[in-house]
Structure 1
Amino acid sequence: MKKNRFLIVGAGFTGAVIAERLSKKQDCEIVIIDERNHIGGNCHTKRDDETGVMVHTYGPHIFNTDNRKVWEYINQFCEMVPFVNRVKTVYNGKVYSMPINLHTINQFFSKTFNPKEAQNFIETLGDKTITEPCNFEEQALKFIGKELYEAFFYGYTKKQWGCEPSELPASILKRLPVRFNYNDNYYNTQLQGIPRNGYTDIFEKMLDNPCIDVRLNTHFSYEGDTLDYDHIFYTGPIDAFFGYKYGRLSYRTVYFESNIVSGDYQGNPVINYADATVPYTRVHEHKHFTPWENHDKTIYFKEFSKETSEADIPYYPKRLSKDLEMLELYQNEVKKLTNFSFLGRLATYRYMDMHHVIGEALELMETDNYLRNETT
């Protein structure tokens, strides 16, 4: 009986989960390729040579989910140390707690509200003239009013997305971004943590199987790389796969300026900078993501956002109306293909957190027929 041969394009979480599941469920041959010189995609971590700090190479990644199945799956490959992400925001020379909570409201307005008083007060701030918000700005104004919007959302959002918030869809701000208690946990999810030995260690364990052949610094070619495989799982940019025949989908990307100093730079893992006059969006200090470790020196990164060029790594899909129209054209092309699966953030042009990516890949491996060895 001939072994099934699979090609996986991309060694991030989507590709790694697919490879791991296939290798456990059937006798097959799996080739996983990635253009970068490392596994792990944007979740790649490594220790900084000078400080010894475990660095999240492409920005902070705190694993959080309500999906018990995903949590149990990832914990097979690591010790997930409980971690609560407490983000601060600097605006107009003062430090505030984020997301907006009871402490933020009382500090910003110099009040001593209890939860009910704060809720009633915020309701008076919302713009009652906006019934059906048409964009991000109107959605925020309807929820929290002009003062909080301009302080914590306008400048930060403009820097992050490179356009006026009024140009962004209202769906980006799906619900009221306010808590009427003193809970400053950045996430609402029940299961939160950071792997003790970093994320790269997880990928190494997931891909440690003799039937998995990892090839780095390898570019995918549709003409040359598909004939020898029974199925191809593609996790790269959907527009790149088709040679940008309908144009390039728009993304924002980020870049970093790093510095090393002695001691503790900012006393917190992440501090946002909401003022539009500050060129960077946030500063992350990575020693605070591993509070169980001790380091004499520290490394911190100023994070900047910009439009994605041909040489950049795409991070956040903008999903403006023109993008969605173009996306539909590419998705119609995907439907014409056989023996291909497009999944993950780039291949589906959706913003997805780690747990979403893992959950999608696990579901595909459970519900489809790739785990059945039917090739003879």
Structure 2
Amino acid sequence: MKILIVGAGLSGAVLGRSLAEDGHQITVIDSRPHVAGNCHTERCPETGVMVHVYGPHIFHTDDAEVWDFVNRYARFMPYRNRVKSMAGGMVYALPINLHTINQFFGKAMRPEEARAFIEEFEADRSIRDPQSFEEQALRLVGRGLYDAFLRGYTEKQWGCAPDTLPASILKRLPVRFDYDDNYFAHRFQGIPAEGYTEMVEAILDHPMIDVHLNTPYAPHHAMRAEHMVWSGPLDGFFDYRLGRLGYRTLDFERFTADGDWQGCAVMNYPDRDVPWTRVTEHKHFAPWEVHERTVCYREFSRACGAEDIPYYPIRLVEEKALLKAYEALAARTEGVTFVGRLGTYRYLDMDVTIREALDATAKITARRAA
């Protein structure tokens, strides 16, 4: 088949490579001047630091097949995401763990002592079936830890009160009663030595793949294609005829400095009177490199406008109802496969994005045969 893929991010690149290896002729277009989507990395000409242009990405997975796939195209270096949090003028370790708990309460408890302390003196045991983010937090860790580390950060990140967000958001965040401060618990964790953009370029490097950058999608692009893969916004494919799905976007305040600015890759700022959510220092995402200068980003979250880059799908009640309507339209659209974070309106980790792209290859081929 002649297949058009809209979007040269992870979904489009992986699907393009898999379909090309199956003998299909692939055309990939992307409106940006680079591949890799929001995973795009590039060297800062001023400092030499490898910068995660749209915010940091750490690859983590338990899927051995996905791990083997990405290692075909890049040399991954071991990396552990150890986040810090500046709360009330003190620096703590995240995720909330035994060290965080002992430091916050000024104690030296063992794991079972800390678990019993939180349950007896902090957790709100009157909450039996948490429905919101706030209820889940109060039941899990209590008012003190919630107010210090979760409430303000959540308000800034999502732009709404935590009692309006679903409890499932917090269920993805770990709370540990040991001293493990590795944010992720997956078997395989790392970052490509030369960045994600070089990796995606290698994935797309195939004689059956033709890539066109700086090329926004227009209907004429699909005229010669026998099938289309759409990794752009789901509502955008239908020209927003039912309305726009809600997203949060990010603004970055970039600055450089001599030496080491904050001593870690990610510092959260959960205090409500600090306008940014976190500061990322990019040279710490490549600890195998040495640089005399440094590049940092202050991150600010806000509602996503029509011309902004969508980052996080909101998926509250109104968005879920609109999503169902768009999913119904997509199901009735022949010859198009919707994939990825934007094409399915879900927050997806990179490994899940790749897994779904690999699985979609077989579905496209089977649909064509049928």
TM range (shorter): over 0.9
Matches within 5 A, 1:129-144: 129-144=126-141
The whole-number CA distance in structure 2 between the counterparts of 1:219 and 1:84 is 36
Task: State the alpha-carbon separation in 2 of the partners of residues 337 and 373 from structure 1.
Answer: 14
Residue 38 of structure 2 corresponds to 42
Distance 1:211 1:150, change over 3 A: same
Aligned mate of 2:97, from 89, 95, 101: 101
Aligned residue for 2:348? 352
Q: Is the 8 A contact 2:95 2:173 kept in 1?
A: no
TM-score, normalised with respect to structure 1: 0.96
Question: What's 2:108 paired with?
Answer: 112
Give the deviation of 1:225 after TM superposition. Answer: 2.6
Name the CA distance, whole Å, in 1 between partners of 2:31 and 2:97.
42
Deviations 1:187-245 (A, max 9, x none): 11111001001111101111111221111111113x32322111100001011111111
Deviates more, 1:276-285 or 1:166-175: 166-175
* Paired position in structure 2 for 1:165: 162
Three-state SS of the structure 2 residue aligned to 1:70 is helix
Residue of structure 1 equivalent to 2:72: 76
Counterpart residue number, 2:335: 339
Alpha-carbon deviation of 1:374?
A: 6.0
Pairing 1:1-376 to 2, within 5 Å after superposition:
4-26=1-23, 28-124=24-120, 125-174=122-171, 177-221=174-218, 223-365=219-361, 367-370=362-365
CA deviation map 1:103-141 (0-9, x unaligned):
000000000000000011111211111112121111111
Q: Check the 8 A contact 1:65/1:355 in 2, yes or no.
A: yes
1:368 partner SS? helix
Gaps of 5+ in 1: none
Q: Is this contact kept in 2: 1:25–1:371, CA < 8 A?
A: no
Distance 1:145 1:225 in 2: 55
The amino acid that maps onto 1:315 is: Y
Q: How many equivalent residue pairs?
A: 369
Distance across 1 between alignment mates of 2:117 and 2:172: 18
1:260 and 1:91 map into 2 onto residues whose CA distance is 24
Letter in structure 1 aligned against 2:125:
K
Conserved 8 A contact 1:20-1:207: yes
Letter in 2 for 1:116: E
TM-superposed CA distance for 1:176, in Å, is: 7.0
Q: How many Å apart are 1:274 and its aligned residue?
A: 0.8
- In 2, the alpha carbon distance for the partners of 1:149 and 1:247 equals 35
Rounded to whole Å, the distance in 1 between the matches of 2:160 and 2:19 is 42
Structure 2: gaps (5+ residues): none
**CA root-mean-square deviation:** 1.4
Native 8 Å contact 1:99 1:177 kept in 2? yes
SS in 2 for 1:204: helix
TM-aligned CA deviation for residue 371 of structure 1: 7.7
SS of residue paired to 1:364 = helix
Identity %: 51
Distance 1:143 1:351 in 2: 23
